[in-house]
Structure 1
Amino acid sequence: MKAIEIAKAGEIKIVERPLPEVGSGDVLLKVKYVGFCGSDLSTFLGKNPMVTYPRIPGHEISAEIVTLGNQVPDSLAIGQNVTVVPYTHCGQCTSCKQKRYNACRYNQTLGVQRDGAMSEFIAVPWEKVLVANALNAIQLALVEPLTVGFHAIDNARVTDSDTVMVFGCGMIGAGAIVRAARRGAIVIAVDIDDEKLTVAKQLGADFTINSRTQDLHDEVQSMTHGDGPSVAVEAAGDPHTYRSAIEEVAFAGRVVCIGYAGTDVPIPTKLWVQKELEIMGSRNANPADFEAVIKYLSKTSPNLDLLVSKVVTVQKAGLMMKTWAESPGSLLKILVQF
C-alpha cells in the first residue's frame, strides 16, 4: 500500500508499505482523508522532540471499516464511516486513574510517537474507533482537530457568564471559539491574519482583533469595559501570546494553554499571584469531546470551505507540506485524500 513518509527533517515522500496485520481486537480501516496537523509540520521541520525518523504522519482520520478482528463487538460493522481517537493510554498512571486519559503519562499519538494514518489502510484497536455515519468523509477528518479546542473550553469551565479570548485562530483555536460560543460566552478572537479572523467571526466570535495592526490591550479593554476576559485560551504556541494571555486576562481569571511554544516562556509571576490566576495546560481530548464535536458537525453542518483550505492528492501531499512550511500562517487545514 502507498503511504506518506517523513524520512527525515525536510524530506517527505511516497513509500510502499505492507498491509497492516489485523489482530483479534483490531479493525482494518480504508483511509479516505487525513489532515495535516501542526505536529506534522513540526516533524517535517525537525522541530518535534517527540518524533524519531522515518515517520508516517497523520492522526486526523476519516475512514471506512473494511475488516473486523474476531473479537470485535457487533456494534462495529464493515462499511461504517468512522473516525479514530488517535491516542493511547496505559490505564495505570495518575492521569488514567482520574479518567483523564488524554493526559496519560505514556501516551503515544498516531503520527508522533508511532506511525500514523497517512496510508491507504491502517489497523487500530476497536475501542479507538468512533462510528459517525451522519458525517461525510471530510467532516470526519475535522473531528479530532476540533476536539482539542473543545477540551480546552471544558477545562476552563466556560459558561454563559464568561468572556473568552482565544489567541490563535487555526483549527485548534477554531474549536475553542465554537465551543465557547455554543456555551453562550462572549468570544474575542485574536490573530495576525485577517482571513482567519473572518472565519472566526463566522464560527461564532463576537469580536476580533488583529494584534499585528491593532493595539491589543486597548481593544481588549474597550471590549470588556476595562475588566479583561475571564478566560484566555492560548492556541498559538508563541511566547508573546503566552505573556499576553496572562497580561490581558481579568483578575481571578483562568488561562488555558494548548499551544507548544518553541522556547521557554518567562512568566510574569507578579500578575499570576496578584490576579490569583488559574493557569492550566490542556492536552489532546477525551471521548466526550469527540462526541460533542460529532454532534456539532452533524447538527450544525458548518460551511466546510471555511475550515478546509486545501484538499490534495497523495501525489501532491509532499509539495503541499513544503508550501505550508514556507507560509505556515496562511492555511487553516490541509486534507490529503487517499
Structure 2
Amino acid sequence: MIKALMIEAENVTRFHEVEEAPLGNGQVRVSVRHIGLCGSDLNTFKGLNPLVKLPRIPGHEIGGEILEVGAGVDAAYQPGKRVIVLPYTNCGKCTSCRKGRLNACRYNKTLGVQQDGGLAEEIVLPAEKLILNDTLPAHRLALVEPLSVGFHAVERGRVSRGDRVVVLGCGMIGMGVLIAAVARGAEVIAVDLSEEKRALAKTFGAVETIDAGNEDVVARVSELTGDDGVDVAFEAVGLPATFTQAIDLACFGGRVVYVGYSKAPVTYQTQFFNLKELDIMGSRNAVMQDFRDVISHLETIGDQADALISKIVPFDEAEGALPYWDGNRNALKIIIERSV
C-alpha cells in the first residue's frame, strides 16, 4: 500500500492508503518527490471542474526519481535517475493525433483530471511519458509542465522579436506565456488584479503592467501602442469578460490565443473577427519540444526561477495545501515536497 492524497468531495482532502500499481512492460515506477498544484486541482477542490469525477487523486506537475523499471524499457532509464512527467495521454488514432498534435488528443486523460494523478508516494507511468533530467534542482522539475503550457501558447501565437503582446492573467500559465514571449524578444504588457503578480511580471521582463481592477485595460493598451493594439493577445484567465477583451486588444491583422477556457458562455460582437481579420486560436497542454524549451530556459535563468514558487509544503502536510491556496489566491505556485 502507498499513501496518496484524495480530493474526496468539495472542499475535502484526506490521505488514503491505496494499492500499489503493478509494473507492466514499458513502464517505470517513479518516486514522487515534488508536485505542483495547478488551477485545475483548485477547481476540482472547489467543485468547479466538470472534467473530474470525485474522489480523485490530484496532481500532474510532477518531478520524481525512478524506483523500478519494467521489461522493454530503454537502458537509459535507471533507478535513481530524476525525471519530469508528461501527464497527458494520446490515443494515436484521432484526427489530432494523426496530425502529430498529440497534446490535443480527443481522448486525452490528464493525470489528476480524467484519471488519478501524482499526489502520492509513487506512480507508475509509461517510459515514453518521462523526461530524464539531472541538470535542474529537484524542486524545479515541478515547474516544467505548467510553464510548458505557456510556452506552447506562445508557439501557437507565432510570437517573434518586436511583437507587442498582452497577457491577460499572470497566474502560472500566464507567467509561462510572459516568460516565453520575452525570451523571443517580444514587448509584453502584463494585466492582472494582483499587485504581487504584476510586480513579479515586471521582474520577468514585462515592459508595462496594468491593474485590471482599477484601470481601463483597453484604453491603457491603446495608449501604450499608439492606438494600434497588440500583435498578439493571450487570454489566461478564463472569464467571459477577458475572452471578449482579447478581441478588443488585438490590432488589425493581429492574433488572439485562448489558453484559459471560460466556464460560462461568451457573447461576442463578431464583426471584429472579420474587420480585423484576426487569427483566433486555442491552445491546449504542451508537446515534448515545449518541455525541452522550458528546461533549457530554466537552466539559463537559474535561481530566478524560484521566485515563481510561493510556498513549499511537506508531503505529510498536503491535506492543508489546497485549503491554504483557496484562502490565499495571490499565491502563484504551491509545491508539495516529499522527503525520502
Work out the CA distance in 1 between the residues paired with 2:201 and 2:294.
17
- Secondary structure of the corresponding residue to residue 149 of structure 1: helix
Amino acid at match of 1:50: L
Structure 1 position 23, deviation (Å): 0.8
Q: Does 1:156 align with 2:169?
A: no
Residue aligning to 1:142: 143
- Secondary structure of the corresponding residue to residue 65 of structure 1: strand
Q: What CA deviation, in whole Å up to 9, does each residue of 1:181-221 have, x standing for no partner?
A: 01011111110111101111111211111111222122211
Residue aligning to 2:96: 95
Residue aligning to 1:292: 293
Q: Does 1:29 align with 2:30?
A: yes
Count of residue pairs the alignment pairs up: 337
Q: What CA deviation, in whole Å up to 9, does each residue of 1:107-150 have, x standing for no partner?
A: 00000000000000101000000011101111100000000000
Residue aligning to 2:87: 86
Work out the CA distance in 2 between the residues paired with 1:217 and 1:44.
33
- Secondary structure of the corresponding residue to residue 318 of structure 1: helix
Residue aligning to 2:333: 333
Tell me the percent identity: 46
Structure 1 position 264, deviation (Å): 1.1
- Secondary structure of the corresponding residue to residue 252 of structure 1: strand
Question: Unpaired runs of 5+ in structure 1?
Answer: none
Summarize the Cα distance change of 1:224–1:254 in structure 2 as closer, same or farther, 3 Å threshold. Answer: same
Residue aligning to 2:237: 236
Residue aligning to 2:257: 256
Moved more, 212-221 or 230-239: 212-221
Moved more, 198-207 or 212-221: 212-221
Describe how 1:135-284 pairs up with structure 2 within 5 A. 135-284=136-285
Moved more, 264-273 or 150-159: 264-273
Moved more, 262-271 or 247-256: 262-271
Q: What CA deviation, in whole Å up to 9, does each residue of 1:215-240 have, x standing for no partner?
A: 21222112111101010000111111
| Aligned-CA RMSD value | 1.1
Structure 1 position 320, deviation (Å): 2.4
Residue pair 2:298, 2:305 contacting (<8 A) in 1 also:
no
Structure 1 position 302, deviation (Å): 4.3
Work out the CA distance in 1 between the residues paired with 2:264 and 2:168.
17
Residue aligning to 1:4: 5
Structure 1 position 176, deviation (Å): 0.5
Amino acid at match of 1:331: A
Residue aligning to 2:123: 122
Work out the CA distance in 2 between the residues paired with 1:129 and 1:305.
23
Structure 1 position 314, deviation (Å): 2.5
Q: What CA deviation, in whole Å up to 9, does each residue of 1:262-298 have, x standing for no partner?
A: 2011122021121111111000000000000011111
Residue pair 2:37, 2:59 contacting (<8 A) in 1 also:
yes
Amino acid at match of 2:32: V
| TM-score when normalising by structure 2 | 0.97
Question: Unpaired runs of 5+ in structure 2?
Answer: none
Q: Which runs of 4+ in 1 moved over 3 A?
A: none
Residue aligning to 1:41: 42
Structure 1 position 327, deviation (Å): 4.0
Residue pair 1:4, 1:314 contacting (<8 A) in 2 also:
no
Amino acid at match of 2:309: V
Structure 1 position 311, deviation (Å): 0.7
